[in-house]
Amino acid sequence: MTTAGIRVASLNHSYGSDAHKVHALSDIDLAIDQGQFVALLGSSGCGKTTLLDILSGLTPMQNGQVTLAGSHPEAGRQDVARMFSRDALLPWRSAAGNIDFALATREPDPDIRRARIDELLVSVGLEQFRDAYPSQLSQGMRQRVALARTFSLRSPFVLLDEPFGALDALTKITLQNLLIELWSGASGTTVVLVTHDIGEAVALADRVIVMSARPGRIAADITVGLERPRDVRQLQESRDYHELVSQLWHELDS
């Protein structure tokens, strides 16, 4: 039987050995439904990236059970897309070329790829920068390209590790709204967004999973019932948003 979504049971993870052992994750149990937008919130060093690395197969699992759509994590899985805080764009490829780099692994027809790249560049507002190289783009623009590339494959699982961590407040809001749009347009896509930004977690996610300080445990699991469609700037004026932010501050403090 295949299980939709992400399932994690009794997951522990340590780095190093003996005297230098770092216990990064402790007894993580987690069930994320397909199509859910989940934020993983926790202080620096609590194991968020470790968990994402395990989900994407970059870090081999030591024990416990982890499945995505019923299958074990594996690096290079076609149905899992990953994005990092600093763009990992190839400097020698243009914006379009960077998106194509991902797309070409799955779509052999160059015309179909070109159409898809054009559509994505429009959706991230970079149609005029199709042929620009990363060095000719601002950090925010590079993250737009990285977002477009991440969603280009229509992967059912999208794992984002602090994708807006390096951006100024205004650019961040624009890109957060863009992420909401891309996810809304990709129905059934499960997003796990790692962040230490409480406001970002509340504004974007259906559910916020709070991790304790190391070893990372699940300290709280909060449903965010804010209506969709959402606009991050407008939400920041709303009382429900602020109540959730304050609740999460308490969870992180406790």
Ligand X SMILES: Nc1ncnc2c1ncn2[C@@H]1O[C@H](COP(=O)(O)OP(=O)(O)OP(=O)(O)O)[C@@H](O)[C@H]1O
Binding positions for ligand X, rule: CB under 6 A: 15-16, 22, 24, 42, 44-50, 196, 214
Nearest residue (CB) to ligand X, 6 versus 24: 24
Among ligand X, Mg ion, none, what binds residue 212 when CB lies within 5 to 8 Å by partner kind?
none
For residue 127, give every residue at least 6 positions away whose Cβ sits within 8 Å of its Cβ, in sequence order, or none. Answer: 118, 121
Rounded least distance, CB 98 to Mg ion, Å: 23
Kindly tell me which residue out of 24, 25, 37, 49 binds Mg ion, with binding defined by CB under 5 A. 49
- Give the distance, in angstroms, between the CA of residue 168 and the centroid of all CA atoms in the same chain: 18
Candidates 48-56, 96-104, 119-127, 138-146; binding stretch for Mg ion (CB under 5 A): 48-56
CA-based radius of gyration for the chain: 18
The sign of the dihedral angle between the CA atoms of 107, 53, 202, 157 is positive
Among ligand X, Mg ion, none, what binds residue 50 when CB lies within 5 to 8 Å by partner kind?
ligand X
d(C-alpha 159, C-alpha 52), whole Å:
7
Task: Please tell me whether residue 59 binds Mg ion under the rule CB under 5 A.
Answer: no
Task: Please tell me whether residue 143 binds Mg ion under the rule CB under 5 A.
Answer: no
What is the three-class DSSP state of 108? coil
d(C-alpha 12, C-alpha 51), whole Å:
10
Nearest residue (CB) to ligand X, 54 versus 95: 54
Question: At 239, which amino acid appears?
Answer: R
Rounded least distance, CB 159 to ligand X, Å: 12
Rounded least distance, CB 5 to ligand X, Å: 22
